[in-house]
Chains A and B, each alone.
Chain A
Amino acid sequence: MSSQAPMIEMRNVDKRFGSVIAISDISMKVHRGEVMCLLGDNGAGKSTLIKTLSGVHKPSNGELLVDGKPADYQSPSDALDAGIATVFQDLAMIPLMSITRNFFMGREPTVGWGPFKRVDWKYADRVAMEEMGKIGIDVRDPSQPVGTLSGGERQCVAIARAVYFGAKVLILDEPTSALGVKQASVVLRYIAKARADGLAVIFITHNVHHAYPVADAFTLLKRGSSLGTFRKDEVSREEVLNMMAGGAELESLDAELSEFQRNEQHDDEITEGSLPASAAHGPQSSGARLATGY
């Protein structure tokens, strides 16, 4: 893995919007077959970072390399052509358009030639249905406007679309925020499969149960800067949880909760009981080590 050039690399990338510095001096490498999880508070700059990768924003400074070659994308369509598919946080869906039209928006399959080249809507309908079926959503009618879907169904259309078109890099910005347990696990399985297929995956989430099982490495953003990248074997689940929320807040929350629920098993409130009992007290012990980063 390390002998090859990283699939995607950022070198000292800045992005400013007028006087707002959204991200500054970000360097990050994601190799093929690797899942990088981006962590950080709201407004930390995660979405801005991935938008510079997917061609939505041009970096104000710094360099982007894809497959070892400098990438200077003028628009998201260039990034898509290079095999970088993204599930945006706002999903990039058009409510009044059908599932199929949204699924293939910008990448419509055509048949025929010259002036008679037309979109093969039949084929498109079938693929959209199939791909949605794979993610666990049984589409009633592919001509249904996306605006009439539930929030989670809509998210699934965006994910299925990115998975279908992502050839080299798959970027997912909080893809599981609205998903049911079943669909979320399918998405995690997708990520694992993309990794196995040799794609580089960048995954943003606020849910440690989604992040920890699939990620190979975690990059922590805070107020637009990177606090470093941690390999999975260097950090425990609790440390990741700590990184996501800032250790201090969780500790005080933990204390408050135990105050309120003295008689109940309060340890499970945050860790949802999915951790071994010994680890459930992790935040106190391991928080200190990471705290230097803040």
Chain B
Amino acid sequence: MSEATLNKDTGDERLQRVSPVKKTLSRPEFGAVSGAILVLAFFAVAASGTGMFSGSGIVNFLEVSAQLGIIAVAAALLMIGGEFDLSIGSMIGFAGILIAIPAVQFGWPLWAALLFAFSFAMAVGFVNGMLVVKTGLPSFIVTLGFLFILRGLAIGLPRLFANRTQIGGVHDTMAGDWLAPLFSGYVGTGLFQWLADIGLLATNFAGNPAVEGIPASVAWWVALTAMATWVLLGTRFGNWIFACGGDKNAARNVGVPVNTVKVSLFMFTAFSAAIYAALQVMDTGSADSMRGMLKELEAIIAVVIGGALLTGGYGSAIGASFGALIFGVVQMGIFYTGINTDWFQVFLGAMLLIAVLFNNYVRKKALEAK
């Protein structure tokens, strides 16, 4: 033990100083952040002069990124915790219907419909989670079941209550509702007006700022990313999420409430899908049975691009957010540059593969030597 004390003052001869560069390289979100910078730089050149990087253009691709980002952050926590949720996409459609039917068909106040839809979504998340932890079945299978169940309900329920698969007229119910502003409109309108007044922001013909404020979806995206990052890195619950995904038996054996953690994460993905639905329903004024199609896969792609391991126990919420940003930038970039949108899917698949290869390499590095 004498050597141990000796080394304390002199530093450790077995430890090479890790350069800050290398430390950055080994962060899980490194790939996604640099990927986002890359695609932004690419379209800054390729789409220059198309308005993609004007105030409203930026808001456009941020809104697309934000929607995906909201569910990707939740999916990231779940994947780090060692599970998947394939029912997110269907849940978006289903939750939208659960908002619209009571609000439009039954005449409930919108806030009541929202609370109802959120509670119901989280109850489904609870059932999802309980089925996974109690049966020990792979979440892949359990949530695949719910993918179909929820989509079926999202089609069947509006047919039953309204005889069609799209329910409009939500805009009319929004006026004066106290909960609606949480999912619609803009944040920081005063600030943007002020920026326009002092000439830092372009104005339209009527003298209003070209961008009214930060869209609600973007605010949710940023808030959820910050919250998830805080939970992961700062709290006990975050440590438990990593532990559950790393090895659930080991985690349980040292006293981590594995089942509680997993079930809460399933409830959180359902909650995030309900936020997505609420934002979309209030933006478009309608709910549609087919909303959210394939979003679960896009979310998983964003999470993997964000540096998470499919096997669990490793990843980052910030990474998933940047994964979603890459999505939004490319999707809108392709639109602005007029590239045939068919290529978007080719790009997606390629991105996914590159991300997985990269992550695999990074993990090996992390476990070999630091």
Contact = CB atoms under 8 A, between A and B. Distances in A.
Interface of A: 54, 56, 75-77, 80-81, 86, 88, 90-97, 101, 104-108, 110, 117-119, 133-134, 136-138, 140-141, 144-145, 147-148, 161, 186
A247 to B, nearest CB: 35
A105 B243 CA distance: 7
Nearest to B240: A106
Interface stretch (B7-15, B32-40, B292-300): B7-15
Interface stretch (B88-96, B249-257, B267-275): B249-257
A20 B230 CA distance: 45
B338 to A, nearest CB: 44
B146 to A, nearest CB: 27
Contact of A145 (B235, B243, B366): B366
Contacts of B5: 133
Given A75-B255, A105-B256, A133-B1, 9 more contacts: A77-B256, A92-B247, A96-B366, A96-B367, A97-B243, A97-B313, A108-B236, A138-B3, A140-B15
Given A144-B370, A148-B370, A54 B239 contact: no
B239 A119 contact: yes
A91 B247 CA distance: 11
Query: Do most interface residues of chain A lie in helix, strand or loop, or is the interface mixed?
Result: loop
B255 A94 contact: no
Query: Do most interface residues of chain B lie in helix, strand or loop, or is the interface mixed?
Result: helix
A81 B247 CA distance: 21
B276 interface: no
A236 B240 CA distance: 46
Contacts of B253: 54, 56, 76, 86, 88, 92
A66 to B, nearest CB: 16
B239 A108 contact: yes
Contacts of B251: 92, 94, 105-106
Contacts of A140: 12, 14-15
B234 A118 contact: yes
A80 B255 contact: yes
A106 B250 CA distance: 11
Interface in B237-264: 238-240, 242-243, 246-247, 249-257
Contact of A94 (B1, B3, B313, B368): B313
Contacts of A86: 253
A138 B7 CA distance: 8
Given A76-B252, A76-B254, A138-B3, A95 B234 contact: no
B263 to A, nearest CB: 15
Q: Which 9 interchain pairs have the tightest Cβ spacing?
A: A94-B246, A106-B255, A77-B255, A92-B250, A118-B234, A92-B253, A138-B4, A80-B255, A108-B236
B367 A94 contact: no
Given A96-B314, A97-B243, A106-B256, A118 B15 contact: no
B369 interface: yes
Nearest to A54: B253
Contacts of A106: 240, 243, 251, 254-256
Contact of A97 (B12, B246, B363): B246
